[in-house]
Structure 1
Amino acid sequence: MNKRHFIKTCALSAALLPLAGSHAFAGAPLSGVKKRLPLPLNPGDTVGLVSPSKATDQLLDVQIATEVMQALGLTVKTGAHLTSRRGHLAGTDAERAADINAMFADDDVKAIICLRGGSGAARLLPLLDYALIKAKPKILLGYSDITALHSAIQAKTGLVTFHGPNGAGSWNHFNAEQFRQLFFQRQAMHYQNITTDEDELVPRQNRIITITPGKVQGELIGGNLTVLTALAGSAYLPDFSGKILFVEDVEEAPYRIDRMLTTLKLMGALDKIAGFIFGQCSACHPSGGYGWLTLDQIFDDHIKPLNIPAYRGAMIGHIKQQFIVPVGGRVELDADAGSFRLLEAVFQP
């Protein structure tokens, strides 16, 4: 069953080059709720494993996610309802929300890792304890459907969270090294696509396309485009003013990408942003025939007229090697180079 079906059931290092060492940054968010930084994470700390969305199809996912965290030098505590199931969901809404709230409340838990995505996280948003999250800010890591949590927590608390691999996802060398650099070494990351060794005269993989050249600074918001636009009209969408919007998607025909960008345009969000990054749109092919708008045309229609620095092709999305992006972190975007770099710390000192 694909992502789009699940979403509908819910309602409608050439790559990561650290800058020299760790830095003590200063600065304030451009607008909205006051920024909050999570506690830092160190080897030997305990992380909480939760499943806010789809139920796991096999207990092996839990075993793999646990072993991944242990291989990174961390101790794992599993949510009380991690392997529960109600329909396609990992337990009832109350159970899944309770696991997240419990992990934020537990002083022994230093970070919260989402087991997987799928669908259902948006159902939890009214049930999360935002006062608790403000009082005990911690790292939250996940992507895809977890975009709902990133957006709501950003809107309600200002806490910086992290869009990146889920616990049961791919933890290749690239992702694992990125995790260590960002979370353990707390380096100021430079996010630039890696080139792969392939038998081609010029590289074909991980190519970037500059939509509009230029540089801009701002705080990052975004995630999965489908999940993000499904929050339109709710109180769980953060302020877009002066932000750099990053989005990605999977298994969506181009006309659906056009529809979702149109939604962001009509609600005034696109006119507020200062920069734009499009990651990967995996398996986003027309469903057949001639006459579809291409992604090139869609970005020309929606993004080019904004006249803001913008590029596409970033290693963000449903791909094996993916950036760990700080939602709420302040960066400088370079659309000509197809990269962005952290300008401020994203953890408490």
Structure 2
Amino acid sequence: MTRPPYLKAGDKIGVLSTSNFTEQTYIDELVAILTSWKLQPVLGKTIGARKGSFAGSDKLRLTDLQQMVDNDDIKAVLETMGGYGIVRVIDKVNFNKFKYNPKWLVGYSDTTFLHCHVQGMLSIATIHGTMAADLEDGYKKDSWESLRKALFGEPLKYSVKPHSLNRTGNAEATIIGGNISILCNAKGTMSDVNSNGKILFMEETGENKYRLDSYLTSLKHAGKFKYVKGLLVGNLTEIEEDDPPFGKTPEEIVFDAVKEFDFPVCFGFPAGHGSLNKALVFGSPVHMKVTPQGTTITFANEV
């Protein structure tokens, strides 16, 4: 796996949305944050553009992303919003230049398509991290500070409280993953996740319990859990009860999908949709240690 160069003061960082439209207020707050990190934000043409729920037309979003990944002066690209939209353009992006001059691609939610596409096709590390749209719920220092550390190459080590459904054990492997529904929708496409021999991260929001179960069952049938080294479960928020009730918590639904396997499982990692969204360097070697007393997640700086 190739690691893009870490950022340094004065670097230019691209800001765009390949999915849904983002309110200007949060863009302004993002610019202030990046400036405080001594970076130079470069706003893409999708910032302020709107077509329906999208940040401009498919053509505009594709062109914006293509120009950002091709621009040698841009050292990282931040998506501002998830939602929906990358899948409409991702297969048309030409990564030939990016392959030889990689840069950090940052985001989560719908950006899962981008993470899996880039790592599956090019084996280049990316960052699953907070976005401008998260500022709607206020500035979360821990989320943004973890993203800054990931971008600048500072050590990342996390501790997670014990959970009753955790499965103890150790795993050392690269980490990949993202939003559960996106991972499911990407099956059979060029953006399909390759979880073999990896630590798989998963999170979800805004789904009914039966839909969560259907996504996980589909991923299981596709063999996505068969050769996993470990499972890191992030935020599971706003998972709505069915009528009649499904009969399980969201965490129990996830555990039931992987209970036949023997890899370690950690629940409750604060990443994805939720009050905290700590950065994960996808494609990075990770040591995950799950014990009855809690879990530690340690990232290696070299990929």
Interval containing the TM-score (normalised by the shorter chain): over 0.9
Question: Equivalent residue for 1:229?
Answer: 184
After superposition, the Cα gap between the structure-2 partners of 1:296 and 1:112, relative to the gap in structure 1 and judged at 3 Å, is closer
Asked if residue 76 in structure 1 is aligned to residue 30 in structure 2, the reply is no
1:323 to 278, 292, 299: 278
Question: Equivalent residue for 2:296?
Answer: 339
Question: Equivalent residue for 1:151?
Answer: 116
2:247 to 270, 286, 292: 292
Deviates more, 1:79-88 or 1:37-46: 79-88
Asked if residue 174 in structure 1 is aligned to residue 142 in structure 2, the reply is yes
Instruction: Kindly state the Cα deviation for residue 225 of structure 1 after the two structures are TM-superposed.
Output: 0.6
Give the count of matched residue pairs: 298
Asked if residue 52 in structure 1 is aligned to residue 21 in structure 2, the reply is no
Unmatched tracts of structure 1, length 5 or more = 1-34, 194-205
Q: Give, in whole Å, the separation in 1 of the partners of 2:60 and 2:288.
A: 39
Instruction: Kindly state the Cα deviation for residue 131 of structure 1 after the two structures are TM-superposed.
Output: 1.2
Unmatched tracts of structure 2, length 5 or more = none
Question: Equivalent residue for 2:6?
Answer: 40
1:147 alignment partner, SS class: helix
Question: Equivalent residue for 1:278?
Answer: 233
Question: Equivalent residue for 1:189?
Answer: 156
Instruction: Kindly state the Cα deviation for residue 46 of structure 1 after the two structures are TM-superposed.
Output: 1.0
Contact 1:255–1:293 (CA under 8 A) maintained in structure 2:
no
Q: Give, in whole Å, the separation in 2 of the partners of 1:292 and 1:63.
A: 44
Instruction: Kindly state the Cα deviation for residue 87 of structure 1 after the two structures are TM-superposed.
Output: 1.8
Output the amino acid matched with 1:252: E
Alignment RMSD: 1.8
1:12-27 matches, within 5 Å, as: none
Contact 1:212–1:304 (CA under 8 A) maintained in structure 2:
no
Q: Give, in whole Å, the separation in 1 of the partners of 2:164 and 2:4.
A: 33
Q: Give, in whole Å, the separation in 1 of the partners of 2:36 and 2:133.
A: 13
Asked if residue 132 in structure 1 is aligned to residue 97 in structure 2, the reply is yes
1:40 alignment partner, SS class: coil
The share of aligned pairs that are identical, in percent, is 27
Instruction: Kindly state the Cα deviation for residue 78 of structure 1 after the two structures are TM-superposed.
Output: 0.7
Contact 1:83–1:90 (CA under 8 A) maintained in structure 2:
yes
Larger relative contact order (Cα-Cα within 8 Å, sequence gap ≥ 6): 1
Contact 2:13–2:42 (CA under 8 A) maintained in structure 1:
yes
Q: Give, in whole Å, the separation in 2 of the partners of 1:322 and 1:137.
A: 24
Task: Name the TM-score, length of structure 1 as normaliser.
Answer: 0.81
1:112 to 74, 77, 81: 77
